[in-house]
Amino acid sequence: MTISSSILRFAGPFNSVIMAAADLPIIGSRIRGYIAPITYVGRRSGRLITLPVSYRISGDTVKIGVAIPDQKSWWRNFLGDGAPISIQFDEKRTGHAVARRDDRGRVEVVLQLDPA
Q: pTM of the predicted model, to two decimals? A: 0.78
Predicted pLDDT of residue 16? 61
- Amino acid sitting at position 103: D
Long-range contacts of 105-108, Cβ-Cβ distance < 8 Å, separation of 24 or more: 105/69, 105/70, 106/65, 106/66, 106/69, 107/65, 107/66, 107/69, 107/75, 108/63, 108/64, 108/65, 108/66
Cα torsion angle, 14, 20, 23, 24, sign: negative
Nearest by Cα to 106 from 77, 73, 71, 65: 65
Predicted pLDDT of residue 9? 60
Average pLDDT, the chain: 84
Residue-wise pLDDT tens digits, 5-48: 554 565 566 556 666 666 666 665 665 667 899 999 999 999 99
Q: Assess whether pLDDT exceeds 90 at residue 100.
A: yes
Predicted pLDDT of residue 90? 82
How many CB atoms sit inside 10 A of residue 75's CB? 19
